[in-house]
Structure 1
């Protein structure tokens, strides 16, 4: 009987885990209502799909989520699940990247790495959210893995794929600046660990010159990918207008970076305005302990073991340093204290965590071989506790209804199901937003981002209105209602008593548009 090829068996195991990862992310994908950020991205992606108009604005996030969501919405229709599907697929397929490290890790470590990428609760949760965090973390991780693969195999295809993955990371989220800082710091630590010697650094210019043709091709591919993702669509300066190509290049390489600096750096840190670091770091560590304790504890153990007990492996040192630096860097650059920053730490931390878990498995096997019942029983008890803890996070936080006690849901995640609100809308519906909190003057949703605060206060409701093909109008507080009010009127609890006499025949409902302290009152005509 012929033996199964170990490489084929390893590949099959990783593929199976990736399939599991996809299933975990796509099941009930549209059940949870859209978060504030998802709704904002969804509205502009849907506008992109219907009108073909798009322009990169840092305040709205990176362009990659919009390109992916536009394709999905165009193919599958305007639904919550369709908008989230590209992120879910990227997250579910991420475990396949573990195969790129199979020459640097043992077979057991490779499989465990794939398992962690497939099943870590923060990665599953934010693999079901229309945000750029998972896309950035996955693309940056894949780019680094492909660099390792290119070095190991000397295949040019891996180098080209690494460039495309790096550009995808650049276009995924403004957090790419923090990711780049983490990668640079991790390279510095790896050099200190003698992954790269000084002689290698001195010889680097000669090696680049020897491969000048390849380097030039990689550069051109990268530039083309950047132009494709960041170029405007529609309007006078459009990627598809050959006559406007100089304007497109000027936008991509001059105006877009200028906008990013103005929005993400200059305005945010004007007059030295920053936030305290420790509360953000502490919050991130709390999320990791609550939602990814296995990855966190195994990652710390694996990094220490590989560094001080086993033979130092540069790839383990690199990803451990990336995660460690990320614990400080991402809270530093984050505008708000959000649990999504955990994604940027969990992905690189999965590599040393796989090493730590592999050592634990080896220890358990030795105990079984020695017939050490006490050690085996203790180890099984720890494993059972870990499985139960992860299962509880999945049940309560990943798939459960969002609550203020959730470790993974952000503040602006609605606490109520918004399907009943959407059920009252149709392509002919006009939603009236009533009150100063929602009223906008001289601005319409067709104008695109940046948006006034009053429009942001309506989120995530504009997504559901746009999804159903409806339209909206606004009135300030105290203004008289139209003679024939629209079928749906949205207002604040403070303004609702003013409208109640005129809308006596309307059904009244309350919706919590955040986990706390963000309620609206919705009047719906009974007809």
Structure 2
């Protein structure tokens, strides 16, 4: 069932715009405050390396090309900072509530407004809208693509089909698990079809006849829109190939068009082989499905309670409390449930960001659930039932307050706390940002060697950090940096921003007589060199310690910063 109108209340449109403005503000405020997660630092620094090389090729370990390409432009225009590296994701997340307007013919005015609010304020969606990862981009692009496709079905205007192809294609440039979305959609459509056949059976109508009529309608619409379907498919293909094609090979096609087959092969077949070698291997999914599912459910309980419960209420109300259930509501519910059940089987680590893929589609039935509560309260008011009104108001107020409190706690109050269920273990702990600022200022103010990593080659402390393997100054376009480089994270990202010079030593004898202004190591090895720093002439080193991983105490980093090398006016 849908409303045959496009004249939704101007107040609803204004409300959606207002919610979107608030969502943008919530995502952009203090966006650069949290120290970079190691995944953020890794991809951001590699983006700078690609910019320096003037080249790029697909590496599945950092997922799709969208962020490296787009952030390369952002860094070139605005500079490379924690704020700018998260800016694109924050803007996409902030604009996500606008997509509620695409569903206005399938939802009531109250439900459209509720959908916008749920997309803006959900704690998981908010947190990962302020995080440079592809999950929010993927979910947002796919949700937008579905909304535009719904508009095409409602209006039969080809422009919506072409428009839908753009976010759909962009989704495939973000992350490899975009392949799961069509699978979830097919499964959801199968269940929606089964629901309609069940209704047909209840009314003594042939279920097979219902299926045949549905198939005939699909064939008829597809044939009528064949030109638009072909054009939109071509549009999507061009976008995907353009992103995945190696650079600068793609740009050189204007001068060497004969290389087009090789570039096309690299962007398609080559990409598939790279993807299959890593993500299709059993090693990436060798884990307990039950353990990963349990983790994801715990995230939904802790930070997605309002959306999850409201989605169940909305699904049940749509299915059993209406004469004609709306297929979109059931479709979105099944889509979200399949995401909850499917992701634990294919991801390589258990992390809260996977919940974004379920909570975004679940926002539609959740909005219907909110609408059901509002209608219950209105009926109570019309009937003079004050108890019903109080119950409805209480449910809405408690839900809004609870969701807001969790969002504030997880995103702003403790965004990198071990007690925060949204924080992944590779998030560095402590208030590291002031120390990083000092490191960058010291590196900018001095010449020569700026940063010294100390990594004992014997590794007797079993700290797992091999700074000595980092291969200073090397970055391979195909394989990335040497393995030990990852043990330096997140510092390479911050040092690259200011062009700092860094090197590694393995013994105290290799420490220069005049040490650089910054020395980075682990607490278990600082006795090897701390005395040398204390004896250095005209220097005064301050010691700082931070957990490298929030959940891994034995990897405590120690950072020595020579305060005399930090410009006095900026200390």
TM-score (norm 1): 0.92
Q: Which has the larger displacement, 487-496 or 341-350? A: 487-496
Cα displacement string for residues 392-442 of structure 1 (whole angstroms, at most 9, x for unaligned residues): 212321112321110211111122233222322234563222215222165
Q: Are 1:178 and 1:333, in contact at CA under 8 Å, matched by a contact in 2? A: no
1 CA distance for matches of 2:508 and 2:196?
70
Corresponding position: 1:318 with 2:331: yes
Cα displacement string for residues 312-360 of structure 1 (whole angstroms, at most 9, x for unaligned residues): 1111111100001111111211111101111111100000000000000
Q: Are 1:323 and 1:346, in contact at CA under 8 Å, matched by a contact in 2? A: yes
What does residue 35 of structure 1 align with?
37
2 CA distance for matches of 1:480 and 1:177?
50
Cα displacement string for residues 228-277 of structure 1 (whole angstroms, at most 9, x for unaligned residues): 2112223xx343443243322111011111101111112635xxx62111
Corresponding position: 1:513 with 2:548: yes
1 CA distance for matches of 2:451 and 2:143?
43
Corresponding position: 1:431 with 2:451: yes
Q: 1:182 aligns with which of 184, 204, 215?
A: 184
Q: Tell me by how many angstroms 1:61 deviates.
A: 1.5
Cα displacement string for residues 67-120 of structure 1 (whole angstroms, at most 9, x for unaligned residues): 222222222111111111110110111111111111111111111111111111
3-state DSSP of counterpart to 1:513:
strand
Cα displacement string for residues 484-519 of structure 1 (whole angstroms, at most 9, x for unaligned residues): 432212111111111112222432211223323232
What does residue 421 of structure 2 align with?
407
2 CA distance for matches of 1:354 and 1:12?
18
2 CA distance for matches of 1:149 and 1:460?
43
What does residue 283 of structure 1 align with?
295
Query: Which consecutive aligned stretches of 4+ in structure 1 deviate over 6 angstroms post-superposition?
Result: none
1:447-462 alignment runs, 5 A limit: 447-448=476-477, 449-462=479-492
Q: Are 1:38 and 1:131, in contact at CA under 8 Å, matched by a contact in 2? A: yes
Corresponding position: 1:503 with 2:533: yes
1:111-510 alignment runs, 5 A limit: 111-194=113-196, 197-201=211-215, 204=218, 208-234=222-248, 237-242=249-254, 243=256, 244-266=259-281, 268=283, 274-310=286-322, 311-401=324-414, 402-419=416-433, 420-425=435-440, 426-427=443-444, 428=447, 430-435=450-455, 436=457, 437=465, 438-440=467-469, 442=471, 444-448=473-477, 449-476=479-506, 480-504=510-534, 505=536, 506-510=541-545
1:124 to 1:32, Cα distance in 2 relative to 1, 3 A: same
2 CA distance for matches of 1:171 and 1:337?
22
Q: Which has the larger displacement, 202-211 or 329-338? A: 202-211
1:481 to 1:82, Cα distance in 2 relative to 1, 3 A: same
1:199 to 1:369, Cα distance in 2 relative to 1, 3 A: closer
1 CA distance for matches of 2:33 and 2:388?
43
What does residue 202 of structure 2 align with?
none
1:56 to 1:327, Cα distance in 2 relative to 1, 3 A: same
2 CA distance for matches of 1:240 and 1:399?
46
Q: Tell me by how many angstroms 1:444 deviates.
A: 4.3
2 CA distance for matches of 1:210 and 1:415?
57
3-state DSSP of counterpart to 1:312:
coil
1:379 to 1:203, Cα distance in 2 relative to 1, 3 A: closer
1:129 to 1:373, Cα distance in 2 relative to 1, 3 A: same
Highest CA radius of gyration, 1 or 2? 2
1 CA distance for matches of 2:387 and 2:80?
57
2 CA distance for matches of 1:210 and 1:191?
22
Q: Which has the larger displacement, 382-391 or 274-283? A: 382-391
Q: Which has the larger displacement, 444-453 or 92-101? A: 444-453
TM-score (norm 2): 0.86
Q: Tell me by how many angstroms 1:476 deviates.
A: 3.4
Cα displacement string for residues 211-232 of structure 1 (whole angstroms, at most 9, x for unaligned residues): 4433332222122111221122
3-state DSSP of counterpart to 1:124:
helix
Q: Tell me by how many angstroms 1:479 deviates.
A: 6.4
Cα displacement string for residues 374-395 of structure 1 (whole angstroms, at most 9, x for unaligned residues): 3333443333432332232123
Could you list the runs of 5+ residues in structure 1 that have no partner in the other structure?
Answer: none
1 CA distance for matches of 2:81 and 2:11?
38
Q: Are 1:232 and 1:239, in contact at CA under 8 Å, matched by a contact in 2? A: no
1 CA distance for matches of 2:389 and 2:275?
55
1 CA distance for matches of 2:472 and 2:343?
34
2 CA distance for matches of 1:300 and 1:468?
50
Q: Are 1:284 and 1:327, in contact at CA under 8 Å, matched by a contact in 2? A: yes
2 CA distance for matches of 1:502 and 1:394?
47
Q: Are 2:425 and 2:550, in contact at CA under 8 Å, matched by a contact in 1? A: yes
Q: Which has the larger displacement, 208-217 or 280-289? A: 208-217
CA RMSD of aligned residues (A): 2.2
2 CA distance for matches of 1:205 and 1:362?
38
Q: Which has the larger displacement, 21-30 or 68-77? A: 68-77
Q: Are 1:477 and 1:495, in contact at CA under 8 Å, matched by a contact in 2? A: no
Q: Are 1:147 and 1:158, in contact at CA under 8 Å, matched by a contact in 2? A: yes
2 CA distance for matches of 1:265 and 1:367?
55
Q: Which has the larger displacement, 115-124 or 370-379? A: 370-379
What does residue 62 of structure 2 align with?
60
Q: Are 2:470 and 2:484, in contact at CA under 8 Å, matched by a contact in 1? A: no
Q: Tell me by how many angstroms 1:477 deviates.
A: 5.7
